Amino acid sequence: MSSTNHYADALPELINALGSEDFSPALLKFIRTAANFDSAVIMAYPKTSAMQVIYNALHEGDQSGFGGSYLDRLWLLSPLYLSARAGVRGFFHILDIAPDNFKNSEYYKLYYQSNGVKDHTGFLVESGNGSPVAISLERTPALRAFSQTDKRRLHAIADTVAALVSKQWPSGLSAQENATSQPVDSNLHRHVERLLRQFGSSFLTPRERDVVQLVLKGYPSKTAAQKLGISSQTEQVHRKNIYQKLGLSSHGELFSLFFDALVQPFPESGDPLSSILGSAGTT
């Protein structure tokens, strides 16, 4: 059967699934008529709460990492979430929305490499109330990377996908609607932005804090140095000083420290690390 016939069968099935729990699997079946993938997840980023997992069809190797570190707030630093918050919509390939040299970043090593993700693309669309929905499509090493033809075909159905998602969830996503979410306060997004600004303020210099923010957002060393207008050698010195002051030995430990701070209450003008690491060091 040709891809055209698959499309002709899958689109009516998807339309008929509107308003039902069958919509998400029917949506992925429809998208497969444009390009195949062997791992997928549909997520929502409500404006006043944490990420919600609408439908999980990830491959087995990705389940533990997704259900562990990713759901444990690593999603707050993901290119999908940051791009969705910045207003990016439509078809995407991960390298188009991630920082330069993303494959050399600690975030890439922490999530993509460890979970067996070979390539990643998908859609950032909106529910009916304007809150972002991410349709994440992945390929494992069992498949080749997405080709230019694959990307063109996926881009061609982006408007159809967006229109149907807005019809499926006209009022956005609720925690009760076939979705799982983390119980967090409604100021989560502002809380994370404030945390990034104040993270390490009692221990680190302003420039070192700039480096930390870029590391946590997934920028590799060379790109971080370029954004800060400093040499790569100077950026590396800053990283060494950061590790020494915070008692760390790796980027993975820095991410863990950030997640620990994320769940700690801290005053409007305080350093979230003070309660975790004790008395302030010298900056």
Please answer whether residues 204 and 245 qualify as being in contact, where contact means their C-beta atoms are separated by less than 8 angstroms: yes
Alpha carbon distance 100, 98 (integer Å): 7
Please answer whether residues 17 and 26 qualify as being in contact, where contact means their C-beta atoms are separated by less than 8 angstroms: yes
Q: Quick one: CATH architecture of 3-181?
A: 2-Layer Sandwich (3.30)
Boundaries of every domain in the chain: 3-181, 188-277
Alpha carbon distance 251, 228 (integer Å): 19
- From 100-104, 150-154, 180-184, 218-222, the region with the lowest mean pLDDT: 180-184
Q: Quick one: tokens of 279? A: 């008395």
Helix, strand or coil for residue 52? strand
Domains 3-181 and 188-277 equal at CATH topology level: no
Burial class (CB within 10 angstroms; exposed 0-12, middle 13-18, buried 19+) of 130: exposed
Place of tokens 């069809």: 57
pLDDT of 96 over the 90 cut: no
pLDDT of 183 over the 50 cut: no
pLDDT in tens, 7-65: 668 899 999 999 999 999 999 999 999 999 999 999 998 876 778 999 999 998 888 87
pLDDT, average across residues 212-236: 85
pLDDT in tens, 103-151: 877 778 778 877 888 999 999 999 988 889 999 999 999 999 999 999 9
Q: What mean pLDDT, rounded, does the chain reach?
A: 83
How many angstroms separate the Cα of 20 from the Cα of each of 3, 125, 143, 155, 282? Answer: 25, 19, 31, 26, 58
CA 271 to chain CA centroid, Å, is 25
pTM of the model as a whole: 0.72
Q: Which fold has domain 188-277?
A: Arc Repressor Mutant, subunit A (1.10.10)
